[in-house]
Each structure stands twice: as structure tokens, then as C-alpha cells.
Amino acid sequence: MNSAALSNQEPKMVSMDMGQYRKRVLQLADVNIYYGAFHAVKDASLEIYEKQVTAFIGPSGCGKSTVLRSINRMNDMIPGATMHGSVFFHGENLYGLQVDPVLVRRRIGMVFQKPNPFPKSIYENIAWGARINGFTGNYDQLVEQSLKDAALWDEVKDKLKQNALRLSGGQQQRLCIARAIAVSPEVILMDEPASALDPIATGRIEELILELKKDYSIVIVTHNMGQASRVSDYTAFFMVDDHRTGYLQEYAPTEQLFLNPTHKKTEEYISGKFG
Amino acid sequence: MADTSAFGAVTEIQRFMDARKRLGLFWQVLFVFATVLAVLFLILLLGSILDSVFGYAVILNEVDPSTLIAGRDKLEDFSREELISVATERLSAGILRRVDYEEPLVERSDRDLRSLIEQYVIKPRALRTWGFAESMIHRDTVVSFMEENNGSYIVFKNWLTPEFIVADQSSDPLKAGIRTALLGSLWIILITLLFAFPIGVGAAIYLQEYARDNRLNRILQLNIFNLSAVPSIIYGLLGLAVFVRAMEPITSGSLFSNVIDNTANGRTILSGGLTLGLLVLPIIIINTQEALKAVPDSLRMSSYGIGATKWQTIWHQVLPVSIDRILTGTILALSRALGETAPLVVIGASTFISVDPAGIFSKFTTLPIQIYQWSARPQGAYRNIAAAAIVALLILLLVMNSVAIYTRDKIARKKRLEA
């Protein structure tokens, strides 16, 4: 990706937030997403900071997952989806003409709602992504390190050749996280990663997110407000208007959003009045 | 409370319940009846075919073997010297010269000599044949028929013998076999596979994975569905116009110098295979599309999510999990091609050839065509060899389908335990 692909003005690389400077990784500028004629998300603009966890919350149908998928251009894969606006990654527009979406997805990885390991061995689940991206190092080391980073190594080190689909749901989801970090992305997008898991497995995923925060910038979509308050540093609250179009209602540091929401809607949502 | 509820009195509930159960029982009986009927018809079909494969035949020899050498009743009792002397004395000069030219009599095996004498001297002829059931029930009619015909004798024939499989075509049903037809069928299926599998799977991958959902592609898809329902004889006409006539220089092989026999004029194995290839192409495309559709989108998404390209996703993720279904569908489509008769008749399959197909530019006949030809002949014994050929064709189909199921299970098992 080269900076010649820039279409809009170069945004500032740092911004001030509560008295401290944070490095900005991603900036969404006026993101509008349509599914066919349906306006799914309108005018979403926000910034994602390096090595922080940003949570997207909001009621069903508010477009939070849609915005998440626009960050690594997964929406390209959905027939009929169109996107207007820009997503800047280190100042470069990911929707520039010369940008290859495949390369975007390698640098901005994704973990899905339902654990979806490949129907291959545990080892191959991690090695494959590296191999197709042209990794030339030591695969055994890579697999071990990725599994350790995803807090799964101790559970699977003796059965690396076993089919990944034989793992439990929580283990599968951690394998998916290991698979995502094996191609060394900078940002990991998580689309409700724990919603299909039991409370214990959910707890382990949350611990893991806090651990991964040291090395990666994480954006997580969640329905669970407790989860958002436990793991995230920033929270974006999305709402849906009368035309069922989603929009960004409020974006603030998590503590501020939960304790002192600016908007009435935000307050109502986090206090459980609707959703 | 005791005898009424929101659903009415207990007795009413009971009566309503009985009516519901009766209705259920009625349908269940109907379904069982349908199944039994289907099985019955299948048994009837198989039975009538197998009935013709075994049974008595009354055979008349033109020359009785006991008259050839004094004191020897059967050909099997002849010594080698006696066989050679009979052959040299009784064979006509022309045949003797040709036989000698192919391989001198003295160098031939006893078995070979016996079959020569049988073919040219004894000349057995089936006067009449009976099915298995008739042979068992009306043995007396068989015997009385034999007694009416002087010099004839009864044998219990099994028409489906190893000799029947390896013998070539003959005008004598007692000696005719299906080797040329079997080889023709196998050659044609090979061409069909080589032609239809790559194109069919390729088209299915394009339609399912790449094609956008627009009007043009929807029309394309609709047409493929329609093509799979086109009667096979139409494909025969298409094959005749395109492969036999228009592409004659290619399909007859005259474009290429290495052709020995170009008397086929485009009515070759290549034309037949390509025609059947066209016939099964829509079936393979639809089967493969179904197999690809069954792969969950989450698998594709997870592959894209770690930076795989579209092709890497298809090749490494989608195809490995759908290959078993693709292969099963393909083999079932080939089974259909194996049994096709009409299109091959239209493009001009040979009805009587005793030369094995030597390659893709040879004339050909196939098992179904052979069966069709034999069953149309008036002489009774042809009915028996037609039945034997049907059984051979069924066995071939059974083997192919078994291979398909075995392959699918093996791949599926490997996927489950995959290392």
C-alpha cells in the first residue's frame, strides 16, 4: 500500500484524548454503507487507537457489525453491498483504487461470531494462513507461538495433528484467534466473538483480549454491555433511526460513556431500557 | 375437572385422538404399500432378466462329433493327433489356408483346435431356448421338442460365461460375445469423463463462486437447468451435426496423419464420447454447484479473513470439503452416460463390428446398442444373450456406483480423521 493512493486529506496521526496522546491506527470518515437500495449505516466517523480495545455496542440492526466489516473490506464479499466514505489505515485510504483488499485483510485480521476453524488439523489451521501469505520462517515455531499467544498451547500441544473441529467451542474460538494472529496483523476485528460460548469460555476470551491488547489494536462488536465495560478502553454506541438506518450516536472512552453518557439514548440503552 | 377440560369432555378427547391416530395409520399403510410395490416391480424386472440368462437349450449339430472318429463320442475325448487330422480333412481349403496362415495347425493348442473344429465342422445351432422358469416347470416340453428334432440334444446353458465377456461379435448367438461392445463403452466413458469433468467442474466453480447475481447469469443458470432436462436423442442430433458432420476432419482423425482406419467418417469413439459429454455436462455442473453450495459461507469468510485470495480460498478450502460430493455426482452422471443408447444410435454407432476399438478414431459399438440390436432379432437365442449382456451392463453400473460410494466414504473418513 503506498500513500499515493490517498484520495482525501491526510488526517493527523495523533489526537489528544483525556490529556494523553494516543497514536491513531484507523480513522473512519463519513462511512455510508448500502445493501442494495437499503441505507444500512450513515455517516459513521470515528478513530481507532493503537493497542487499545474499542467496543461497538448498540441494539440489533444498528449496523455495528457492518461498520466492523467495512474496516477490513469484508463487505466487498457481500453481494449488493456498497460503501461510500473512507477508512484510513495509518493515513492511507483502504478504499483507494490501488489498494488490494487481500492485503488489507492480512494486516487487519478478523474473528467471527461463530467459531469457524478450517476442517483441517490444528497445526494446519495456523500454518495455512502463513503459507498462503508467503511465510518463509519456521512453521513449528510460528504455530507454537501463535497458540501460546492465544492461550491454547497447553491444551492442544499433544494433539496438533487432530482435526480442529473436534475441539470445544471455546477452544475453537481461541484457535481462530491464534489463526488470525499467525499472519501478524496490526488490528484484530472481533464480531461478537463470545456470543456463541458459555460463560467460562467467554471469560477466557475476555482475558485473552486484555492480553492481546499489548500487541494488537482490537475492535470488538458485542451485545453484552458488561463485556464492553470489562474489556474495552473506548466504546462506540450505534443507534438505529426510524428508517432502520444505523448511525453512530456516541463515541467516548468507555468509562466516560458508561458513567456520563452525553446522549439520552445512550443512557437508556446502557441502563437496559431498550435493546 | 375429572371429565372435562378446555379441550372438551374426556370421551370426546379420546374419540378425537382415535381419529388422529387412524389418519396417521392410513397414510403409513399407503407409504408402505408404495414401497412394497416399487420393490416388487424391481424384483420382477431383475427376475425376468435373470430368467433369460439361464435355461435349457436344444442344440443340433450339423455334423455329429461321434461320426468324425470311430469310437470317440465327444470332442473332449479326441487326442491331439486326431484333432489335427480331423481339422486337415474336414476344413475347407480356403479356411484351412487362412487358419494355417495365422498360426500353423501343429503349433495350436488343443483347446484352439477343438474350437476350430466346432466352429467349422460340427457347427452347433441352437434350435430353441427356454427361460429358467420354463426349464424348471415344463421340462417335458423341452424333452419332447428334442425328440421331434432328430440328432439334437439338450444342454442347460448359462449364457453369461467368461467366454461371453471376452468373445467378439458373431452372427452365431452361441459364439457371440460382448468384448467389442464392452471396450467401446469403456472408451466412450473415458472420453466423456475427460471432456465433461474439467469443463463441468470449471463452469460450476465460475457460476457458483465468481459469477455475479445479474440477469445474464440468471438466464445462463436457467438454461443449464433446462439443458439437463432435454431428451437425450436431441443431444444425438446435435452430436451428429456438430461432431460427426461439421468436425469430421477432427473426429475422424483424418486431420492427423497417424490414422490407420478412417472408414468411420466421423462416427468414431471421439464423436460418441463428446456427444455423451455434452449430455452429462449440465448434470455435472448442477451437481457440482450443489456441492459448492453446501460449503458454508463461514468457511470462505474465515479464509478471506486471514488474507487468502479468492482462488486460494476455492482451491484450499472450498474444493477439499466438497470434492467427495463432486466426485459422487460425476460418477452418477457417467453411469447415466454408460446406459445411453439413443444419442449413439443417432450419431451412427456401428451395429456389427468384431474389431476391437483401437483408439479414439475407431468405429465403435456399446453395450446398450448391442443389447438393443440383439433383442430386436427374431431368433430366440439372441434374447438370451441380450439378457446376459444386460446383466453384464448392470454389473458394470453397480461396480461404478460402488466405486463412487466407496470413494466418497473414504474421502469423508479421511476428512474426519485428517492429520
> pLDDT tens digits for B61-94?
888 877 777 777 777 777 888 888 888 888 788 8
Distance of CA B389 to the CA centre of its chain: 9
| pLDDT score at A10 | 42
Of A151, A142, A144, the residue nearest A206 (C-alpha) = A151
Please indicate whether residue A3 or residue B103 has the higher confidence score (pLDDT): B103
Lowest-pLDDT range of A19-28, A221-230, B209-218, B377-386: A19-28
| pLDDT score at A221 | 96
Chain B interface residues (partner A, CB cutoff 8 A): 212-213, 296, 298-309, 312, 316-317, 320-321, 415-419
- Top residue of B210, B295, B306, B311 to mutate, by most chain A CBs within 10 Å, is B306
B301 to A128: CB separation less than 8 angstroms, yes or no: no
The answer to the question of residue B409 being in a domain is yes
| pLDDT score at B361 | 84
Say whether pLDDT at A1 is over 80.
no
Domain span including residue B375: 179-416
| pLDDT score at B255 | 74
Confidence category of residue B355, pLDDT binned at 50, 70, 90:
confident
Q: Are B260 and B119 members of one domain?
A: no
A58 Cβ under 8 Å from any chain B Cβ: no
| pLDDT score at A145 | 94
Lowest-pLDDT range of A68-72, A128-132, B63-67, B336-340: B63-67
Phi and psi based region of residue A243 (left: phi greater than 0; alpha: psi -120 to 50; beta: remaining): alpha
A82 Cβ under 8 Å from any chain B Cβ: no
Output the CA torsion sign for B34, B39, B42, B47.
negative
The answer to the question of residue B190 being in a domain is yes
Which pTM value belongs to this model? 0.82
Taking only the tens place, the pLDDT of each residue in B246-280 is 888 888 777 775 555 556 677 889 999 999 999 99
B306 to A109: CB separation less than 8 angstroms, yes or no: yes
Alpha-carbon distances of B129 from B162, B314, B380, B392, rounded to whole Å: 20, 59, 6, 20
- Nearest CB to B299 within list A77, A109, A118: A118
Which H or E run contains B193? helix B179-205
Taking only residues 129 to 148 of chain A, the set having a beta carbon closer than 8 angstroms to any beta carbon of chain B reads 129, 132-133
Please indicate whether residue B25 or residue B383 has the higher confidence score (pLDDT): B25
- Nearest CB to B307 within list A121, A176, A183: A183
Q: Which of B157, B190, B220 is the last residue of a domain?
A: B157
Of B273, B271, B276, B277, the residue nearest B201 (C-alpha) = B277
Q: In chain B, pLDDT over 90 holds for what percent of residues?
A: 41
Q: Are B60 and B196 members of one domain?
A: no
Question: From CA A247, how far away is CA B164, in angstroms rounded?
Answer: 79
| pLDDT score at B134 | 87
The cell numbers describing B173, all together, are 448367438
Question: From CA A264, how far away is CA A224, in angstroms rounded?
Answer: 19
Q: Are B153 and B233 members of one domain?
A: no
Q: Are B364 and B319 members of one domain?
A: yes
Please indicate whether residue A248 or residue B103 has the higher confidence score (pLDDT): A248
Q: CATH number for the domain including B362? A: 1.10.3720.10
Q: Are B1 and B79 members of one domain?
A: no
Q: Are B150 and B190 members of one domain?
A: no
- Nearest CB to B302 within list A102, A103, A118: A118
| pLDDT score at A23 | 86
Q: Are B189 and B279 members of one domain?
A: yes
| pLDDT score at B99 | 79
Q: All domains of chain A, ordered by start, with CATH?
A: 3-270 (3.40.50.300)
| pLDDT score at A275 | 66
Confidence category of residue B18, pLDDT binned at 50, 70, 90:
very high
Q: Are B253 and B153 members of one domain?
A: no
- Nearest CB to A132 within list B212, B305, B308: B308
If one counts every other C-beta atom within 10 angstroms of the C-beta of residue B266, the result is: 23
A129 to B301: CB separation less than 8 angstroms, yes or no: no
Q: Which of B157, B190, B216 is the last residue of a domain?
A: B157
Q: Are B297 and B368 members of one domain?
A: yes
Q: Are B275 and B347 members of one domain?
A: yes
| pLDDT score at A12 | 44
The answer to the question of residue B350 being in a domain is yes
Q: Please give the interface size between A and B, counted as residue pairs whose CB atoms are below 8 Å apart.
A: 76
| pLDDT score at A9 | 42
Output the CA torsion sign for B179, B180, B184, B187.
positive
The answer to the question of residue B303 being in a domain is yes
| pLDDT score at A94 | 93
Q: Are B332 and B399 members of one domain?
A: yes
Say whether pLDDT at A16 is over 60.
no
Q: What is the ipTM of this complex?
A: 0.86
- Across residues A119-138, what is the average pLDDT? 92
- Across residues B326-354, what is the average pLDDT? 87
The answer to the question of residue B259 being in a domain is yes
DSSP state of B376: T
- Nearest CB to A179 within list B306, B316, B415: B306
The answer to the question of residue B172 being in a domain is no
Q: Scanning the structure block, which residue is given the C-alpha cell 493348442? A: B109
Confidence category of residue A7, pLDDT binned at 50, 70, 90:
very low
Contacts of A80 in chain B (CB under 8 A): 213
A102 Cβ under 8 Å from any chain B Cβ: yes
Maximum pairwise Cα distance, chain B: 109
Asked if residue A236 lies in contact with residue A72, where contact means CB atoms within 8 angstroms, the answer is: no
The answer to the question of residue B345 being in a domain is yes
- Nearest CB to A109 within list B298, B305, B417: B305
Asked if residue B110 lies in contact with residue B83, where contact means CB atoms within 8 angstroms, the answer is: yes
Give the three-class secondary structure for B104.
coil
Asked if residue A79 lies in contact with residue A34, where contact means CB atoms within 8 angstroms, the answer is: no
A160 Cβ under 8 Å from any chain B Cβ: no
- Across residues A17-46, what is the average pLDDT? 86
Structural domain total, chain B? 3
| pLDDT score at A245 | 93
Q: Are B280 and B197 members of one domain?
A: yes
B316 to A132: CB separation less than 8 angstroms, yes or no: yes
| pLDDT score at B145 | 87
- Across residues B30-52, what is the average pLDDT? 95
A116 to B213: CB separation less than 8 angstroms, yes or no: no
The answer to the question of residue B41 being in a domain is no
- Across residues B200-207, what is the average pLDDT? 96
A22 Cβ under 8 Å from any chain B Cβ: no
